[in-house]
A and B are shown apart, each in its own frame.
Chain A
Amino acid sequence: MANDSSRLRISAVNDVVRIDFVDRDILDEATIRQIGQDIQRKLEPMSAPKVLMCFTVVEHLSSAALGTLITVNSLVKKKGGTLRLAEIRPEILEVFYITKLNKHFSIDESAEAALKALA
């Protein structure tokens, strides 16, 4: 599957769209906007998409990045699909707990666990 953005690596794992972040920092507003647009463009033609977003290399993210994740989740839900997040470092996971977004997202420790849940 072709890369939709230099900031993301998008691949297909069976019927799951797997999205890996390329950068350690997801902070720059323009980059975050671009990431959101790339993901939306990828998911737009799909029906009931199963999506896995992996944060393996991500060390920092801002509230603007959280906002984009919320927007992507809303889009996926609107289409009757499922979004799961995985491989989030403990420091970043704490941000999800502080903001209580752990209640909003389905979060798995590993990509394998997320793929199993999406199967």
Chain B
Amino acid sequence: MSARIEGHAILRGPRAEIDASQSAVEQAMTQHGYGREALFAVRLALEEALVNAIRHGNRHVPDGQVDFRWSVDGDEARFDVQDQGEGFDPDAVPDPTEDDNLEIPSGRGIMLMKAYMSEVEYRGPGNHLAMVYRKSKDA
């Protein structure tokens, strides 16, 4: 099995930064033999995580940055996304699958991350997101 692959990026907002990070992660996961379902799951979860951090987490932070660290080995892929905002209470986000909330256009990002990743944890005041995808989920 090849060695763990790690990456780190500071994201300021432009779409190209997100795409570059996504490509690097996808390349590392492909190198470690993750399948199509895994690549789909991680891409979706990372999209939600990075966009949330940039657009919502840093909304009130002038020139805010998002610190994105990741590592991939043959067993799992780990991701840490930290913004510079005040954080939030993820438990206070309404359940978008409740019938009364189905017509609300926003608020599905966190549930999608939880659905597609093996572990999703908000740390500190809620501005640090840690996610894990285990290859066994891919089987």
Contacts and interface: CB of A to CB of B under 8 A. Distances in A.
Interface of A: 27-30, 60, 62-64, 66-68, 70-71, 74, 91, 95, 98-101, 103-104
Given A28-B15, A63-B48, A99-B112, A70 B40 contact: no
Contacts of B105: 66-68, 70-71
A99 B103 contact: no
B51 A99 contact: no
Interface of B: 15, 37, 40, 43-44, 47-48, 51, 55, 96-97, 99, 102-109, 111-112, 115
Contacts, number: 53
The 7 closest A-B pairs by CB, nearest first: A67-B105, A63-B108, A100-B97, A63-B109, A70-B105, A98-B115, A104-B102
If over half of B's interface residues share one DSSP class (helix, strand or loop), that class is named, otherwise mixed; here it is: helix
A99 B96 contact: yes
25 contacts: A27-B47, A29-B51, A60-B40, A60-B44, A62-B44, A62-B48, A63-B48, A63-B108, A63-B109, A63-B112, A64-B51, A67-B105, A67-B106, A68-B105, A70-B102, A91-B37, A95-B44, A98-B111, A99-B97, A99-B108, A100-B97, A100-B102, A101-B102, A103-B102, A104-B103
Contacts of A70: 102-105
A30 B55 CA distance: 12
